[in-house]
Chain A
Amino acid sequence: MFATRSLLAMTLALCSVSALADVTLTVYTALEADQLKAYQQKFEQDTPGVKLRWVRDSTGIITAKLLAEKANPQADVVMGVAASSLLVLEKEGMLLPYAPKNLAKLNKAYVDSTQPPAWVGMDVWGSAICFNTVEAAKLGLKKPESWKDLLKPEYKGKIVMPNPASSGTGYFDVTAWLTLFGDKGGWDYMDKLHQNIAQYTHSGSKPCKQAAAGEFPIGIAFEYRAAKLKDSGAPIDVVFPKEGLGWDVEATAIMKGSKNLDAAKKLADWSASPAANELYEKNFAIVAMPGVAKPNAHIPADYEQRLVKQDLRWSAANRDRILAEWSKRYDAKSEPKP
């Protein structure tokens, strides 16, 4: 089976070389690897003549890469990157505003407020805690119900969370705490939480994967990865802390300077289409197009109400300052690579 599969992969790789007639869009993304395939398949099927080439990494890395390439952008489109990062690029004048078809059908809360919008949301992803019940039972740990619970001394060295400098998930956790507990209260909270953190990871998914594997019993991650791992049989409970959940919008934007503008617009249109939203819906509880989302067994029905009231523009404007402060305080404990 493997032989055929690898053969297939190699054949596909060869085909993609020979199909030079097609336009190939370079798309920078922070979407999860297991989401990309479905999106790409559907888009390429709906849009003959345009192929996608993903450059994937964590939100912070993709953002840094885009900023570094400002003089000579390599990406045509950015898709599935945090709006708080896209707002930074927008401020730098690196995005090409474009109103995709179907724009009117999308929830305005998840679309850039300028006209035409520089970025258009796809879905919302938010905080969740993965709690390994098997390991917790062995260690006699109680299930945390709130962010404040995580400060209990019994959790010392038991918690992993993503590094906000590299992970979009990590960043919205930090901004949520600053929103919920105020500036001083937020940093106080993080100082105390830091005492219980075993590792800060590079990726936003890894804490939940580590919790699922029992390497560390508690992982601060996001709801998609948590639900996915629970489905695959990992012994975890998904906890939605009661104070409120950090969140961000995964969004699409066209890069200024793209040499494949027509194709880029096609992808932006597709990204806002009902077909695309139906795919997002499989992964997320909230999508940009109202009425598409369906209930998920692992995610509460009132999920949208549990999100912290926060302003993405504030998150974007203060990104540098917050990350610098965070690195100054906690970086020594970060997993190698930001």
Chain B
Amino acid sequence: MWRVMTSSRVRASRDEHAARLLLWLLLAMLAILVLWPIAAMLGQALHGGLAVLGQTLAQPGLRRAAVGSLWAATLTTALVVPLAYGYAAALTRVALPGRAAFRLLALLPLLAPSLLPGISLVYLFGNQGLLKHWFAEGGLYGLSGIVLGEAFYTFPHALMILLTTLAVGDARLYEAARTLGAGPLRRFATLTLPASRHGLLSAAMVVFTLTLTDFGVAKVVGGQYPVLALEAYKQVVGQQNFARGAAIGLLLLLPAVLSFVLDRLLQRRQHAQVSARAQPLQLLAGVWPRALALLYCLTVGGALLVLLGVAIAAAFIQLWPYNMSLTWQHFDFDLVDGGGWLAFANSLKMAIYTALAGVALTFIGAWASCKLRVAGVAGLGLHALAMLPMATPGLVLGLGYVFVFNQPGNPLSALYGTLTLLVLCSVAHFYTTAHLTARTALAQLDADFEPVAASLKVPLWLTLWRVTLPACLPALLEIARYFFVSAMTTVSAVVFLYTPDTVLAAIAVLNMDDAGDTAAAAAMATLIVAASALACLLFALLSHASLRRSQRWRRPS
């Protein structure tokens, strides 16, 4: 009896040892893929000492670009956050018909690379645009084009945060306010707005940082307007001036880190806003609120749809604006720059591998760090490192990868220029959101599963395979979809890492537009949107099927 007990104990702890080893390995991998590149970027920026860095940053061109970036980010934030707040309020607080459809509509921009709104804007408001009279001649190119394009690109990011914020609330408070005679405006100003201030701030910081660090929009419709992200790209890709690129990278890293830290602090303070006795919100069902909300959502959602649709339409038009007949010829990428169908095939491959590797790594990491009794320091370390990518702009991460993996002395430099490195970089780039999703899903499971299973002498791996994994399947599918779509659309990190053999679709869009082949760029962007949309559909179906099969336990009996 005694002997059996010991042996079972040894077996269980051997599992745990193995799991802990795995955890340490993951930690080491994250250190290589996230920490090292960021450190290398910082090292490169501070290479000549602070004086040299100061000199670089003090150059007038850079100052102009910094001011330009700040303006663009501020204006975009001021435009997007109120728009998204209204949209989120309409979706969460009003009995609006077709809410699910409106939600989907507003998330559509996530399917496209940030270059797409730029291309659409040229076709809409450029000198030959459908609505060119809305702008002074050539007025699109510059700040106005950047702000509009970034608004499209960042809208769903702000919306997702605000939807979560506005979805919770206590109906009792609103009722009390009403009985005390507070009108709708007063109720909004004293209840809704204060309760959502954290969400608003968080959304504002996300929009600000995204705009600051994106160069896709500015690349296409920025005209002569200088922005930092493009300046970094220009220095590195155009002039091979890595030191200066790193200095700008440092500038971009600072606000991203700052807003990330602020956001974390706020989230910590935000707990228990809604008490356990809170009553679910009553949706506004009056004719006026519903009509207004519908009109508003149609306008905003419609604008997003038009911006997406124009680029897709332009992909099929022979020679805008002179010959508007339909054609497939722009999808024949043979005679233009960018890598054509090879780029698209590469992107598909890269996105699939990123989804697979991403799901495996983030899930095992999250599981080991929060379900393992012996996780200890390694668990904390992994969680901390997993947060880092969210505070790191893709551009900075990509630059860091150049500094780490393009060193002749580094044995890992064999990876440089390969699709493998692009996959690893993308997994690292989008790690945080996936990690948090996995942790949330795992936290929903009873913490007793593992100890009970262990006491029943069920091996750790079997519990993981038979209980934990199936229970988390919807979250896993969500993570895979997120990785796939992000890898399909990203430009910022991978633009420094590709070679002609590993060129990607979103980078092809960039290069085609650069060479003036706007229609081909629109066609390639259309392919990206189509692939992302198809993947989302597929994942939705899978998720539906898995919910029916393995998630019966979630349903109240």
Does B bind A?
Answer: yes
Binding site for B on A (CB under 8 A): 1-2, 5-6, 9-10, 13, 33-34, 37, 53-56, 60-61, 64-65, 67-68, 72, 134, 157, 165-166, 198-203, 205-210, 212-216, 233-235, 331-338
B259 lies within 8 A of chain A by Cβ = no
Evaluate contact between B127 and A233: CB separation under 8 angstroms: no
B308 lies within 8 A of chain A by Cβ = no
Return the CB mask of B37-76 against A: 1 if under 8 Å, else 0.
Answer: 0000000000000000000000001001000000000000
Evaluate contact between B215 and A336: CB separation under 8 angstroms: yes
Neighbour of B122 across the interface among A6, A215, A335, CB < 8 A? A215
Name the residue of chain A whose CB is nearest to the CB of B344: A6
Neighbour of A213 across the interface among B219, B240, B334, B518, CB < 8 A? B518
Evaluate contact between B227 and A53: CB separation under 8 angstroms: no
Residues of B within 8 A of A333 (CB): 224
Residues of A within 8 A of B218 (CB): 336
Separation of A37 and B333 alpha carbons in the complex (Å): 12
Separation of A204 and B122 alpha carbons in the complex (Å): 20
Give the A-B pair count, Cβ closer than 8 A. Answer: 121
The 8 closest A-B pairs by CB, nearest first: A209-B516, A206-B516, A68-B240, A338-B238, A34-B335, A9-B341, A336-B230, A333-B224
Question: With A61-B237, A332-B224, A336-B234 known to touch, is A6 a contact of B500 (CB < 8 Å)?
Answer: no
Evaluate contact between A198 and B240: CB separation under 8 angstroms: no
Evaluate contact between B342 and A199: CB separation under 8 angstroms: no
B2 lies within 8 A of chain A by Cβ = no
Question: With A72-B408, A213-B128, A213-B518 known to touch, is A338 a contact of B122 (CB < 8 Å)?
Answer: no
Separation of A72 and B234 alpha carbons in the complex (Å): 22
Separation of A294 and B323 alpha carbons in the complex (Å): 31
Name the residue of chain B whose CB is nearest to the CB of A53: B500
Residues of B within 8 A of A37 (CB): 334-335
Evaluate contact between B500 and A56: CB separation under 8 angstroms: yes
Separation of A335 and B218 alpha carbons in the complex (Å): 9
Evaluate contact between B517 and A209: CB separation under 8 angstroms: yes
Separation of A68 and B514 alpha carbons in the complex (Å): 22
Neighbour of B341 across the interface among A6, A64, A199, CB < 8 A? A6
Q: Name the distance in Å between A32's Cβ and chain B's nearest Cβ.
A: 8
Return the CB mask of B315-340 against A: 1 if under 8 Å, else 0.
Answer: 00001111100001001101111101
Name the residue of chain B whose CB is nearest to the CB of A206: B516
Evaluate contact between B321 and A214: CB separation under 8 angstroms: yes
Evaluate contact between A55 and B240: CB separation under 8 angstroms: no
B222 lies within 8 A of chain A by Cβ = yes
Separation of A185 and B8 alpha carbons in the complex (Å): 91
Separation of A234 and B128 alpha carbons in the complex (Å): 14
Evaluate contact between B514 and A202: CB separation under 8 angstroms: yes
Question: Could you write out 20 A-B pairs with CB less than 8 Å apart?
Answer: A33-B515, A53-B500, A55-B499, A67-B240, A68-B240, A198-B141, A200-B224, A207-B516, A209-B516, A213-B319, A213-B321, A214-B128, A235-B322, A331-B61, A335-B222, A335-B223, A336-B227, A336-B230, A337-B238, A338-B239
Evaluate contact between A157 and B137: CB separation under 8 angstroms: yes
Q: Name the distance in Å between A334's Cβ and chain B's nearest Cβ.
A: 7
User: Quick one: which of B127, B218, B338, B517 has the most chain A CB within 10 A?
Assistant: B127
Return the CB mask of B224-244 against A: 1 if under 8 Å, else 0.
Answer: 101100100110011110000
Evaluate contact between B336 and A33: CB separation under 8 angstroms: yes
Residues of A within 8 A of B319 (CB): 212-213, 233-234
Residues of A within 8 A of B340 (CB): 9
Separation of A134 and B218 alpha carbons in the complex (Å): 29
B175 lies within 8 A of chain A by Cβ = no
B345 lies within 8 A of chain A by Cβ = yes
Name the residue of chain A whose CB is nearest to the CB of B332: A5
Separation of A53 and B499 alpha carbons in the complex (Å): 10
Name the residue of chain A whose CB is nearest to the CB of B510: A337
Evaluate contact between A332 and B128: CB separation under 8 angstroms: no
Evaluate contact between B127 and A54: CB separation under 8 angstroms: no
Residues of A within 8 A of B321 (CB): 213-214
Which residues of B from 121 to 159 have beta carbons under 8 Å from A?
122, 126-128, 137-138, 141
Return the CB mask of B482-506 against A: 1 if under 8 Å, else 0.
Answer: 0000000000000000011100000
Which residues of B from 280 to 326 have beta carbons under 8 Å from A?
319-323
Residues of B within 8 A of A233 (CB): 319, 323
Evaluate contact between B234 and A338: CB separation under 8 angstroms: yes
Residues of A within 8 A of B137 (CB): 157
Evaluate contact between B336 and A34: CB separation under 8 angstroms: yes
Q: Name the distance in Å between B500's Cβ and chain A's nearest Cβ.
A: 5
Name the residue of chain B whose CB is nearest to the CB of A330: B224
Question: With A332-B226, A338-B234 known to touch, is A210 a contact of B323 (CB < 8 Å)?
Answer: no
Residues of A within 8 A of B518 (CB): 209, 213
Evaluate contact between A6 and B345: CB separation under 8 angstroms: yes
Evaluate contact between A206 and B500: CB separation under 8 angstroms: no
Separation of A1 and B138 alpha carbons in the complex (Å): 39
Neighbour of B331 across the interface among A2, A56, A205, A216, CB < 8 A? A2
Q: Name the distance in Å between A59's Cβ and chain B's nearest Cβ.
A: 12
Separation of A56 and B512 alpha carbons in the complex (Å): 12
Q: Name the distance in Å between B528's Cβ and chain A's nearest Cβ.
A: 14
Residues of A within 8 A of B516 (CB): 201, 203, 205-210
Residues of B within 8 A of A1 (CB): 328
Residues of B within 8 A of A335 (CB): 222-224
Neighbour of B127 across the interface among A13, A207, A216, A234, CB < 8 A? A216
Neighbour of B514 across the interface among A157, A203, A215, CB < 8 A? A203
Residues of B within 8 A of A54 (CB): 500
Separation of A215 and B518 alpha carbons in the complex (Å): 11
Residues of B within 8 A of A2 (CB): 328, 331
Separation of A335 and B328 alpha carbons in the complex (Å): 29
Residues of A within 8 A of B239 (CB): 64, 165, 338
Question: With A332-B224, A336-B218 known to touch, is A56 a contact of B341 (CB < 8 Å)?
Answer: no
Name the residue of chain A whose CB is nearest to the CB of B68: A332
Residues of B within 8 A of A332 (CB): 61, 64, 224, 226
Separation of A336 and B234 alpha carbons in the complex (Å): 7
Neighbour of A33 across the interface among B337, B345, B501, CB < 8 A? B337
Evaluate contact between A334 and B224: CB separation under 8 angstroms: yes
Evaluate contact between A337 and B230: CB separation under 8 angstroms: yes
Residues of A within 8 A of B128 (CB): 213-215
Separation of A335 and B221 alpha carbons in the complex (Å): 9
User: Quick one: which of B227, B240, B516 has the most chain A CB within 10 A?
Assistant: B516
Evaluate contact between A205 and B515: CB separation under 8 angstroms: yes
Separation of A335 and B227 alpha carbons in the complex (Å): 11
Separation of A165 and B239 alpha carbons in the complex (Å): 9
Q: Name the distance in Å between A34's Cβ and chain B's nearest Cβ.
A: 4
Q: A5-B332, A67-B240, A337-B237 are in contact. List 8 more A-B contacts (CB 8 A).
A: A1-B328, A60-B238, A68-B240, A203-B514, A205-B515, A209-B518, A337-B238, A337-B514
